[in-house]
A = this chain, B = another copy of it.
């Protein structure tokens, strides 16, 4: 069943995604197990937060990632605490959060943040050989699509120093809060400004490296850099 669901990239119901752990208890109206919603948030995010526990102490570590269909790849130094812990098969949580703005209500209680987030639960496992290289390509292309073909590929020594983990997106949920404040009717006449302050994560001017060889132009994928943005429910090709 899960295998079938995984291949159904255009489908909206992925039975494996919803489990007792990923069922929304608070604000269920903000929750979603819709695959397109989950995929779109994962594609727009630049980095994720990986949660894992060592000897009962949780850690939350920001790191890069990439998505290939229903698989997340993350990577890091083979010697890092996170990669060593996760390579042992520990359960983990990968969360990608996009902040869309502040929600400024008339009451303190109704203040909120507009955001889109995805939580993926599972036990990542290290990959080797061709899949390891593939994972690094996915992670690099997630940063900037078009980059991989231009750059020097990892050497054997570099591959050895890098660990790549694969996490299947079997158990996942999205949570989205959007729109203005939801003040109580009795508060709306208060003499205080209320509304949204949207935030945008925007690329600034690229900064060439000091040692950049002369005559090398900025590639189009950096000159017109944009994170992939897809409307929920509108399928588009995977990277």
Which residues of A come within 8 Å of B, CB atoms?
21, 25-26, 46-47, 49-53, 56-62, 64, 76-77, 79-81, 91-95, 97, 99, 101-102, 104-109, 111, 113, 115, 117, 119, 121, 136, 140, 143-144, 147-148, 150-155, 158, 161-162, 180-181, 183, 187-213, 216-219, 222, 225
Contacts A/B (CB < 8 Å), 15 sampled = A25-B80, A26-B77, A49-B60, A49-B95, A60-B95, A107-B152, A107-B153, A108-B140, A111-B140, A151-B190, A183-B209, A192-B216, A193-B208, A197-B207, A198-B207
Are B192 and A198 in contact, with the CB atoms below 8 A?
no
Q: How many identical chains are in the complex?
A: 2
Residue with the greatest number of chain B CB neighbours at <10 A, chosen from A101, A188, A213:
A213
Given A26-B81, A47-B115, 6 new contacts (CB under 8 A): A104-B143, A183-B211, A191-B213, A193-B212, A195-B208, A197-B222
Q: How far is the CB of A206 from chain B (nearest CB, A)?
A: 5
Residues of B within 8 Å of A61, CB to CB, are 95, 119
Contact: B46 with A113, CB < 8 Å?
A: yes
B206 touches A191 (CB 8 A): no
